[in-house]
Structure 1
Amino acid sequence: MYALVDCNSFYANCEKLFRPDLKDKAVVVLSNNDGCVVARSSEAKLLGIKMGVPFFQVKDFCIQNNVTVFSSNYTLYADMSHRVMTTLETLCPTVEVYSIDEAFLYLADYPTAMTDLNAYGIKLKSIVEMYTGIPICVGMGSTKTMAKLANHAAKKHPATKGVCVLQDLRWIRRIMQITDVGEVWGVGRRYKIRLNSMGIHTVYQLAVCAPAKIRQHFGVVLERTCLELNGQCCIGIETAEPKKQIVSSRSFSTRITCPDELSQSICSHVSKAASKLRKQGSVCSYLSVFAKSSSFSTTESYASISGQSKFITPTADTRIMVAAARRILTQIFIEDIRYAKAGVMLFDICQHHEVQPDLFTEDSSDDAGQSSSHCTNRSEKVIAIMDQLNKKFGQNSNQQSAVFIASEGIKDKQKWQMSRNMLSPCYTTNIKQIPKVD
């Protein structure tokens, strides 16, 4: 048996958690640069605010209906997600973090849960909500796809009270018959249209369809989904593996034409990517830098630039990677382009212990970044201390790391930084922003 734990309206409920005045009130969270609605509280959903709608289209509606609007606070959401997942790990020995607000639990490794699945689901829900304040729904089934279906039922049907166990055959059939096929895990909009054209409109109709027929029309992935709906496990718990590619990029709040501003942005992305690289104990051999104008502009033609650098010895040293990125940007920068987005990509990634050091590399980090790309003991100590300081002191009031590379620039002086005019405080990670009680 598998259980899927899903946080309800996660971003919105993270915001409401530290604002008691928003209890039972409508809340929406916006995407980067306050562009579109990416999260809605249950109250906002009842008002008819759609997911993905551009904010300017519903701004007046939000004001008229007293809807509280927030910019995305990724620091807060990541920390609250960590708290939820850590709590789940104390309640089940095998947990797969599926996304920032979802996790699969493999219950066969926990006999206590198997004795009474419904009671265990209620326990999961109550403890997570008590420890973190985040409401969740729990769905259980014999496969991951069935657990996803059960979780959907737990959200949609009040009678379940947030916990649904799909174990009884009659109950499984009933849920499948009243659930649209588009709600099945792995069935997207295009698949739904094609399935509907074949007369398959409900989950039950997909489940009773011959797997060979599904494979013939849609391929092996949907065939596995069909088999999973019939209780045949095709997708097991996946262990977290180091990423083989890391990308850090973001759109600007304003267009950039100045090479120094673009360089600061690139260096900031390199720093973030390098930090992710070190957290998984990896190093990379290639660094790619890219920037582009807006592809939606009607007044100017689309343009992009890109370049890459290979390190003689794979590295995770931010200083070396920043030097390489600045060199690349100097070579590829084109004037008279109004850049709308920039970023970096790290690839050819391997684990640190797999690296064969360069016999002739010295412990230095010149601007060339070619003859000194190996993180030697000395450079490793420097970067390790920087990571420790940032972990201890977190970010300052400007959402910038306590210790950072000067090439990144000072955030409160960067006009191109992502627009987040309705950003909430980082209640859990910044001591200066802890709520005060009078």
Structure 2
Amino acid sequence: MNTIQANNVMPETSAANNLKSIHTWYAIVDCNSFYCSCERLFRPDLWNRPVVVLSNNDGCIISRTDEAKRLGVEMAGPYFKAKPLIEQYGVTTFSSNYNLYGDMSKRVMDTLRFLVGEQNTEVYSVDEAFLALSGFGATDYTALALHIRQTVERWTGISVSVGIAPTKVLSKMANHIAKKNKQSTRCVYVLDTPQAIQQALAQTPVGEIWGIGRRYAEKLNSFGIYDALQLSLMPENWVRKQLGGVVGARLLKELNGEPAIGLGDELVTKKMIATTRMFGTPVTALQQVKEAVATYIARSAEKLRRQKSVASVITVFMVYKTEQLPGAHFRHGPSVSAFIVLPNATANTHELIKPALQLAAQLYQTGKIYKKAGVLLSGITPAGAPQGNLFVPKSPNANERLMEVMDNINVSMRNDVLHFAAGSTGRNWKMRQELRSPRYTSRWKELPEVR
């Protein structure tokens, strides 16, 4: 094992000096078992009962309640392996309902924006957001965290945990402690003293530090560094060398209570747009592959038009099945891909479908069993200022109105009421969701009934 010399500095001294100069504190609000919470919201009979939510095609468990965890249901484990345990204890199981989860996520984030201001909110993921708590002065941050938690739960019905600290990295630690000890912490935890920070650092393995992946954790372990407190005492030059230069230096400052990572801007305009799905059943026919690719292109084109952009590059990829050797680790199988650069950037669905189907036909191999396909649009520019082509005359965008009408009808009527024939109508290959709950908040016919 390699050995290294840490700074001979007491963490209390470093943290205390930094805490005195902090003007903006950070909170992270993380929804508890978010997908399960969304399902429970419209099924009050499931409160305090074990619930799990499955991934695409009902493959793996991606969300579980504390009750399911106590029964031994493993996170990210294959559903078929957990099914005997699930059936034995009557665990309620749902397929992913992304329409519901997306809508509930928006409600949670809108609530947070109302509480602290849009400029102080960074949506980090579908169920997490960082908040900059500036302008609160000498605040009782525990009371503030409780107010945030109670307001979100009252307005949306989604339970959350709140961690507050002088930096984003430390706020993630605080949130982890709050979630780990829900009853004693009331789902809120604040690192507002040097002693509290030191204790949190000491009980956090390096592999659980925000920004430290598995390989970096193994590397730090090889140097005898096993927890965040040990890492926080290392010299900055050493951390820069071992953890990626400036990224490592920022992490070290954050661990010592010195803010070095501010709120990130919300990505409003995407630089790449992808749509990809696992097939509900294995696909062997070229026609089915083409139908899937056409459907994914249509969905990507809608997203493209929503952000008022056009794309000039289309990539299509397909994943086919290979024989798994007995005892071997699971693998998705080889992926094949191809791309094409369009003569003119466009957001018109039919102008994107045709070259995408050509790529699908080019990639397809008779006799292969396909498990997944996807499309990626890149070379994205604003719709009002696409880069021209000197050798290809610019075609008038006569179909812009048609695309607008199709989008408006599909948004209001849902379920792709209008779509191009290339996408078919049967779609026997589509993702399996046999246990999906109703889309309570986004479909008129699936609204919950009150009796």
**TM-score of the superposed pair, with normalisation by structure 2:** 0.87
Kindly state the Cα deviation for residue 113 of structure 1 after the two structures are TM-superposed: 7.2
2:178 aligned residue (154, 164, 173): 154
CA contact 1:107–1:113 (8 Å) conserved in 2: no
Once structures 1 and 2 are overlaid, which stretch shifts more, 171-180 or 41-50?
171-180
Whole-angstrom distance in 2 between the partners of 1:26 and 1:6: 20
Residue 368 of structure 1: aligned partner: none
Asked if 1:204 is matched to 2:190, the reply is no
2:436 aligned residue (410, 423, 432): 423
CA contact 2:30–2:162 (8 Å) conserved in 1: yes
Query: CA separation of 1:32/1:113 partners in 2, compared to 1, >3 Å: closer, same or farther?
Result: farther
- Residues 130-158 of structure 1 show CA distances to partners (whole Å, capped at 9, x for unaligned) of 11110001111111111111111211233
CA contact 1:305–1:333 (8 Å) conserved in 2: no
Kindly state the Cα deviation for residue 99 of structure 1 after the two structures are TM-superposed: 0.4
Whole-angstrom distance in 2 between the partners of 1:315 and 1:176: 51
Residue 393 of structure 2: aligned partner: 360
- Residue identity matched to 1:286: V
Asked if 1:138 is matched to 2:169, the reply is no
Asked if 1:51 is matched to 2:75, the reply is yes
Whole-angstrom distance in 2 between the partners of 1:432 and 1:114: 50
CA contact 1:294–1:341 (8 Å) conserved in 2: no
Whole-angstrom distance in 2 between the partners of 1:145 and 1:426: 35
Kindly state the Cα deviation for residue 228 of structure 1 after the two structures are TM-superposed: 0.8
Kindly state the Cα deviation for residue 37 of structure 1 after the two structures are TM-superposed: 0.9
CA contact 2:291–2:424 (8 Å) conserved in 1: yes
- SS state at 1:137 partner: strand
- Residues 57-103 of structure 1 show CA distances to partners (whole Å, capped at 9, x for unaligned) of 11011011111111111111111111111111111122111000001
CA contact 2:207–2:213 (8 Å) conserved in 1: yes
- SS state at 2:37 partner: helix
1:324 aligned residue (317, 340, 355): 355
Asked if 1:87 is matched to 2:118, the reply is no
Q: Give 5+ residue unaligned stretches, structure 2.
A: 1-24, 327-331
Whole-angstrom distance in 2 between the partners of 1:425 and 1:403: 22
CA contact 1:142–1:233 (8 Å) conserved in 2: yes
Asked if 1:341 is matched to 2:368, the reply is no
Paired residues for 1:118-197 under 5 Å? 118-157=142-181, 158-197=183-222
Paired residues for 1:28-67 under 5 Å? 28-67=52-91
Kindly state the Cα deviation for residue 123 of structure 1 after the two structures are TM-superposed: 1.4
Whole-angstrom distance in 2 between the partners of 1:306 and 1:195: 37
CA contact 1:282–1:350 (8 Å) conserved in 2: yes
Residue 381 of structure 1: aligned partner: 401
**TM-score of the superposed pair, with normalisation by structure 1:** 0.89
CA contact 2:74–2:82 (8 Å) conserved in 1: no
Query: CA separation of 1:95/1:295 partners in 2, compared to 1, >3 Å: closer, same or farther?
Result: farther
Kindly state the Cα deviation for residue 114 of structure 1 after the two structures are TM-superposed: 5.8
- SS state at 1:283 partner: strand
Number of aligned pairs? 415
Which protein, 1 or 2, shows the higher relative CO under an 8 Å CA cutoff with sep ≥ 6?
Answer: 2
- Residues 297-323 of structure 1 show CA distances to partners (whole Å, capped at 9, x for unaligned) of 459x96654332222221111121112
1:311 aligned residue (315, 339, 342): 342
Asked if 1:406 is matched to 2:415, the reply is no
Aligned-residue identity in percent: 39
CA contact 2:293–2:356 (8 Å) conserved in 1: yes
Paired residues for 1:146-295 under 5 Å? 146-157=170-181, 158-220=183-245, 221-241=247-267, 242-295=269-322
Whole-angstrom distance in 2 between the partners of 1:209 and 1:304: 42
- SS state at 2:161 partner: strand
- Residue identity matched to 2:230: Q
- SS state at 2:108 partner: helix
Kindly state the Cα deviation for residue 125 of structure 1 after the two structures are TM-superposed: 0.6
Query: CA separation of 1:295/1:212 partners in 2, compared to 1, >3 Å: closer, same or farther?
Result: farther
